[in-house]
Amino acid sequence: MAGRKGTGPWDPYTGADLGEGEWIEYSPAQKAGLDAPRFCPECGRRRVIQVTPHGWTAVCSRHGETDSAVADLR
Ligand SMILES: [Zn+2]
Protein backbone atom coordinates (compact mmCIF):
# COMPACT_ATOMS: atom_id res chain seq x y z
CA MET A 1 0.00 0.00 0.00
CA ALA A 2 1.17 3.48 -0.80
CA GLY A 3 -0.23 5.05 2.34
CA ARG A 4 0.23 8.49 0.90
CA LYS A 5 -3.30 9.64 1.63
CA GLY A 6 -6.78 8.22 1.91
CA THR A 7 -7.66 4.84 0.54
CA GLY A 8 -8.19 5.34 -3.17
CA PRO A 9 -8.99 4.49 -5.84
CA TRP A 10 -8.03 7.80 -7.31
CA ASP A 11 -9.49 9.53 -10.29
CA PRO A 12 -6.93 9.26 -13.08
CA TYR A 13 -7.71 12.70 -14.49
CA THR A 14 -7.95 14.86 -11.42
CA GLY A 15 -6.24 12.84 -8.69
CA ALA A 16 -9.34 13.12 -6.52
CA ASP A 17 -9.55 10.46 -3.81
CA LEU A 18 -12.70 8.61 -4.85
CA GLY A 19 -12.40 6.27 -1.88
CA GLU A 20 -12.76 9.28 0.39
CA GLY A 21 -15.86 10.44 -1.44
CA GLU A 22 -14.27 13.35 -3.27
CA TRP A 23 -16.48 14.53 -6.08
CA ILE A 24 -15.01 15.23 -9.46
CA GLU A 25 -16.09 17.29 -12.40
CA TYR A 26 -14.36 16.63 -15.68
CA SER A 27 -13.37 19.34 -18.05
CA PRO A 28 -14.76 19.13 -21.61
CA ALA A 29 -11.45 17.73 -22.85
CA GLN A 30 -11.46 15.07 -20.15
CA LYS A 31 -15.04 14.08 -20.93
CA ALA A 32 -14.10 13.68 -24.56
CA GLY A 33 -11.14 11.52 -23.65
CA LEU A 34 -8.69 13.98 -25.15
CA ASP A 35 -6.77 14.61 -21.98
CA ALA A 36 -4.26 12.06 -20.77
CA PRO A 37 -4.95 10.63 -17.28
CA ARG A 38 -2.08 12.07 -15.26
CA PHE A 39 -2.73 10.24 -12.02
CA CYS A 40 -2.39 6.55 -11.27
CA PRO A 41 -5.80 5.21 -10.17
CA GLU A 42 -4.08 2.62 -7.99
CA CYS A 43 -1.87 4.87 -5.91
CA GLY A 44 -2.75 8.48 -6.76
CA ARG A 45 0.79 9.32 -7.83
CA ARG A 46 1.31 11.74 -10.65
CA ARG A 47 2.34 9.77 -13.72
CA VAL A 48 4.73 10.71 -16.48
CA ILE A 49 2.74 11.43 -19.63
CA GLN A 50 4.14 10.99 -23.10
CA VAL A 51 2.13 11.91 -26.14
CA THR A 52 2.50 9.43 -28.98
CA PRO A 53 1.24 9.43 -32.58
CA HIS A 54 -1.55 7.11 -31.42
CA GLY A 55 -2.53 8.84 -28.20
CA TRP A 56 -0.47 8.78 -25.03
CA THR A 57 1.28 6.63 -22.51
CA ALA A 58 1.20 7.22 -18.76
CA VAL A 59 3.94 5.76 -16.57
CA CYS A 60 3.57 5.28 -12.83
CA SER A 61 6.81 4.74 -10.95
CA ARG A 62 5.16 1.88 -9.09
CA HIS A 63 2.60 0.45 -11.46
CA GLY A 64 4.23 0.83 -14.81
CA GLU A 65 2.91 1.96 -18.12
CA THR A 66 -0.65 2.39 -19.35
CA ASP A 67 -1.44 3.54 -22.86
CA SER A 68 -4.47 5.12 -24.44
CA ALA A 69 -5.47 1.91 -26.22
CA VAL A 70 -5.99 0.25 -22.83
CA ALA A 71 -7.80 3.21 -21.31
CA ASP A 72 -10.32 3.20 -24.15
CA LEU A 73 -11.73 -0.06 -22.75
CA ARG A 74 -13.43 1.75 -19.89
ZN1 LIG B 1 0.56 3.64 -9.35
Output the pLDDT for position 6.
78
pLDDT in tens, the chain (74 residues): 444 567 899 999 999 999 899 888 999 988 887 788 999 999 999 999 999 888 899 999 999 999 888 766 54
CA 62 to chain centre: 13
Which residue type occupies 74?
R
**Exposed/middle/buried for 44, CB within 10 Å: 0-12, 13-18, 19+?**
buried
State in Å: Cα 47 to ligand 1 middle. Answer: 8
Output the pLDDT for position 3.
47
Instruction: State the Cα–Cα distance between residues 73 and 32, nearest whole angstrom.
Output: 14
pTM for the structure as a whole: 0.75
Q: CB count, 10 Å around CB of 36?
A: 21
State in Å: Cα 14 to ligand 1 middle. Answer: 14
